[in-house]
């Protein structure tokens, strides 16, 4: 217990010192965690072996993918299929073949070279997704493409673990280049071996059936079992039971996936997708989020603490050169794929620099390859160090991206609109000072919104505060269809441009006669135009605030609070009635000052308002008396 408390104190102290400093310097939390690990491990020697702690820390990655799954509906995942199969599949295959070719050129047999190619085809899900979330880049086109590739890589680990045993190269004791017997490498993640234990000995068809059964169990359990289980827990009326249930779901699914030889992170991601439409989604997110953050931080610290600097300083130029060489090779492949899939400007550089490193699943493949006699021990040592070095360099790559991004001056016409891969009950066109209030209110009750705005700076600012949004022209029919205009219940038109707002209302009403359209208007004339275009509810952007200001004036010229409130209510309802009445007489081809019928009715309605206000105030005084 004393040793555990000491280690816990060291890790937490390192985190609370290094991470705030790194964040304040603009380096990001991930680099802070990695440097904290380097300081307490190779630096001060406070932590000698992080193997056991690494297993525990891996749950940070598992929980992160579970939370990502909760944000994705199955339909959104299906909409991503082209990027998952095309972009992600090509990245894995091309990178694997390129690294394999380089390893064969260096003299390795093809089996070992193929294993090395698999190892370096993967990137760090933990570091990249954590950084994208921190910097508000997840919902950019580059961020979503990056996520698609990471998800494909996690799925690709499964066939890689199946193929590796077929590459076994029988050999005697592993020798270092100088002829000495190599020590065994630090097995940072050894669960690949244990994960196969429960299906060991089964025929191929048996393994397939067990795997499919585990996946089906997760899907069926999520669809039919979640609601009764949460109701049962709710009956206890103990807040900690919700947290216990959330942890049980994650840990139980991770164990099930490990037992059948699948990635626990992939299994929990699938569970998250299944539960994305559940009314318990927000409850699960709030319960898991604190554990995810701490365990991810612990994972990064153990990566830093596990770096073998003794080996590094024995061959610093070669090892650092190989790490940078691998990142450069992957970067070139990623850049080319980004061009093919029409990523441009900032999105292409985010995609290229964000995925250039090797990843934590590479540790799994190295450990498993060593057990299968595919890699010699001395080579496994160096591959582990190259992966760790590339992960350590990755936060610097994101800093380089920010440097390049600030110096890119893409003309608005060259900006690529986001590919909308989500649909919601409410579509909000325009997210300025008006639309963002509507969006926050609607989301606060759990309703799904899809926000579209053609101001990139506004969308980027919105993302930094954790809100999703898509950059694009809301008047484009293809973007509206992608956002779900065919099935949405409400369209909120909050555009700054009055002409664009009117055009959007006209198009939406023609496309969907049944959709409810709420529109923001600039003034009364714009209100009439939107009314003619087919808007159901029209809100003048300054009307409610002006009405409230008028009430404050009334309260300070002698009216009581009650009288001012009654006057405000009566004016509000009468003005809405007035707008509807005058909208029928308004003619866009005749100026209002020359429309005699319009002017006559406006005067009548104004007199009615005065009479109604006097009557209301008189009644208020009588009630007070």
DSSP 555-581: HTTT--HHHHHHHHHHHHHHHHHHHHH
* pLDDT tens column, 271-301: 877 777 666 666 777 777 777 777 777 777 8
Is residue 18 within a helix (H) or strand (E), and if so which, with residue range?
A: helix 2-24
Which ranges in 275-356 belong to alpha helices (H)? 281-305, 309-314, 316-340, 345-354
Q: How confident is the model at residue 51 (pLDDT cuts 50, 70, 90)?
A: low
* pLDDT tens column, 4-40: 677 778 878 888 888 788 777 766 677 778 788 888 8
Q: Report the pLDDT value the prediction gives residue 165, as an integer from 0 to 100.
A: 76
**Residue 133 to residue 149: CA distance in whole angstroms:** 16
**Residue 517 to residue 285: CA distance in whole angstroms:** 32
Q: Report the pLDDT value the prediction gives residue 181, as an integer from 0 to 100.
A: 36
Strand, helix or coil at 533?
Answer: helix
Q: Report the pLDDT value the prediction gives residue 200, as an integer from 0 to 100.
A: 59
**Residue 99 to residue 30: CA distance in whole angstroms:** 27
**What are the φ and ψ backbone dihedral angles of 399, each rounded to 5 degrees?**
-65, -40
Mean pLDDT value of segment 507-518: 90
Closest CA to 287 of 492, 139, 67: 67
List the structure tokens of 231. Answer: 């109701």
Strand, helix or coil at 189?
Answer: coil
Q: How confident is the model at residue 493 (pLDDT cuts 50, 70, 90)?
A: very high
Closest CA to 451 of 75, 443, 536: 443
Q: Report the pLDDT value the prediction gives residue 224, as an integer from 0 to 100.
A: 79
Q: How confident is the model at residue 427 (pLDDT cuts 50, 70, 90)?
A: very high
**Residue 611 to residue 608: CA distance in whole angstroms:** 5
pTM: 0.58
Residue 198 has pLDDT above 70, yes or no: no
- Cα distances from 509 to residues 470, 514, 531, 580, in angstroms, run 22, 8, 11, 19
Q: Report the pLDDT value the prediction gives residue 38, as an integer from 0 to 100.
A: 81
Identify any residues that bridge with 539 across adjacent strands, giving them in sequence order.
Answer: 520
* pLDDT tens column, 525-555: 888 888 888 899 888 888 878 888 888 888 8
Residue 173 has pLDDT above 60, yes or no: no
Q: How confident is the model at residue 183 (pLDDT cuts 50, 70, 90)?
A: very low
> 504 and 495 in contact (C-beta within 8 Å)?
yes
**Residue 425 to residue 550: CA distance in whole angstroms:** 35
Strand order across the 516-521 sheet: 470-471, 449-453, 426-429, 490-493, 516-521, 537-540
Q: Report the pLDDT value the prediction gives residue 178, as an integer from 0 to 100.
A: 44
* pLDDT tens column, 106-163: 888 998 999 999 999 999 887 888 788 777 777 677 888 888 898 888 778 768 877 8
Residue 434 has pLDDT above 80, yes or no: yes
Residue 46 has pLDDT above 80, yes or no: no
> 249 and 271 in contact (C-beta within 8 Å)?
yes
> 149 and 411 in contact (C-beta within 8 Å)?
no
**What are the φ and ψ backbone dihedral angles of 467, each rounded to 5 degrees?**
-100, 140
* Residue indicated by tokens 């020590």: 183
The contacts of residue 233 (CB under 8 Å, 6+ apart) are: 241, 242, 245
Closest CA to 265 of 458, 72, 60: 60
First to last CA, the chain: 76
Q: Report the pLDDT value the prediction gives residue 187, as an integer from 0 to 100.
A: 37
* pLDDT tens column, 224-234: 777 788 778 77
List the structure tokens of 371. Answer: 């057990």
Q: How confident is the model at residue 411 (pLDDT cuts 50, 70, 90)?
A: very low
Q: Which residues of 496-507 are buried (b: 16+ CB within 10 A; e: fewer)?
A: bebebbbbbbbb
């Amino acid at each position: 217990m004393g040793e555990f408390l000491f280690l816990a104190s060291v890790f937490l102290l390192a985190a609370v010192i290094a991470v705030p400093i790194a964040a304040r310097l603009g380096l990001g939390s991930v680099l802070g965690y990695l440097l904290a690990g380097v300081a307490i491990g190779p630096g001060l020697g406070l932590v000698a072996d992080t193997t056991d702690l690494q297993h525990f820390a891996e749950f940070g990655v598992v929980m992160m993918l579970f939370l990502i799954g909760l944000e994705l509906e199955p339909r959104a995942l299906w909409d991503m299929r082209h990027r998952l199969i095309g972009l992600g599949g090509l990245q894995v295959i091309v990178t694997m073949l390129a690294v394999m070719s380089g390893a064969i050129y260096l003299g390795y047999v093809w089996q070992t070279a193929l294993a090395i190619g698999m190892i370096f085809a993967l990137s760090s899900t933990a570091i990249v997704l954590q950084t994208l979330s921190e910097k508000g880049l997840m919902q950019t086109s580059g961020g979503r493409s990056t996520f698609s590739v990471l998800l494909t890589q996690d799925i690709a680990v499964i066939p890689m673990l199946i193929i590796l045993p077929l590459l076994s190269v029988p050999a005697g004791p592993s020798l270092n280049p100088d002829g000495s017997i190599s020590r065994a490498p630090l097995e940072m993640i050894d669960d690949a071996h244990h994960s196969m234990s429960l299906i060991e000995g089964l025929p191929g068809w048996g393994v397939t059936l067990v795997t499919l059964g585990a996946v089906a169990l997760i899907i069926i359990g999520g669809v039919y079992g979640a609601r009764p289980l949460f109701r049962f827990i709710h009956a206890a009326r103990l807040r900690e039971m919700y947290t216990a249930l959330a942890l049980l779901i994650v840990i139980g699914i991770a164990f099930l996936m490990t037992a059948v030889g699948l990635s626990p992170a992939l299994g929990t991601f699938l569970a998250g997708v299944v539960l994305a439409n559940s009314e318990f989604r927000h409850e699960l997110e709030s319960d898991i989020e604190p554990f995810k953050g701490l365990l991810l931080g612990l994972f990064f610290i153990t990566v830093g603490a596990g770096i073998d600097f003794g080996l590094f300083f024995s061959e610093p130029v070669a090892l650092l050169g190989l790490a940078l060489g691998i990142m450069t090779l992957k970067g070139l492949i990623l850049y080319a794929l980004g061009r093919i899939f029409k990523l441009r400007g900032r999105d292409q550089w985010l995609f290229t620099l964000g995925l250039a490193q090797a990843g934590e699943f590479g540790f799994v493949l190295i450990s498993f390859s060593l057990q299968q006699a595919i890699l010699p021990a001395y080579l496994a040592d160096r591959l582990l160090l190259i992966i760790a070095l590339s992960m350590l360099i990755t936060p610097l790559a994101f800093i380089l991206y920010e440097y390049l991004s600030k110096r890119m001056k893409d003309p608005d016409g060259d900006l690529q609109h986001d590919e909308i891969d989500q649909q919601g009950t409410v579509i909000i066109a325009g997210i300025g000072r008006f639309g963002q209030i509507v969006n926050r209110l609607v989301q606060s009750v759990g309703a799904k919104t899809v926000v579209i705005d053609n101001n990139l700076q506004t969308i980027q600012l919105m993302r930094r505060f954790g809100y999703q949004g898509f950059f694009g022209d809301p008047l484009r029919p293809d973007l509206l269809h992608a956002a779900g205009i065919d099935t949405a219940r409400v369209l909120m038109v909050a555009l700054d441009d009055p002409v664009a707002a009117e055009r959007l209302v006209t198009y939406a009403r023609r496309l969907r006669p049944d959709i409810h359209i709420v529109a923001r208007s600039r003034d009364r004339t714009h209100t009439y135009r939107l009314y003619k275009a087919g808007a159901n509810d029209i809100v003048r952007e300054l009307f409610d605030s002006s009405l409230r200001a008028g009430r404050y004036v009334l309260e300070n010229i002698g009216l009581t609070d009650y009288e001012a409130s009654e006057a405000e209510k009566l004016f509000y309802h009468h003005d809405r009635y007035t707008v509807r009445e005058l909208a029928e007489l308004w003619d866009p081809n005749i100026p209002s000052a020359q429309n005699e019928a319009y002017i006559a009715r406006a005067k009548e309605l104004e007199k009615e308002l005065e009479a109604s206000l006097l009557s209301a105030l008189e009644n208020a005084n009588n009630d007070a008396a």
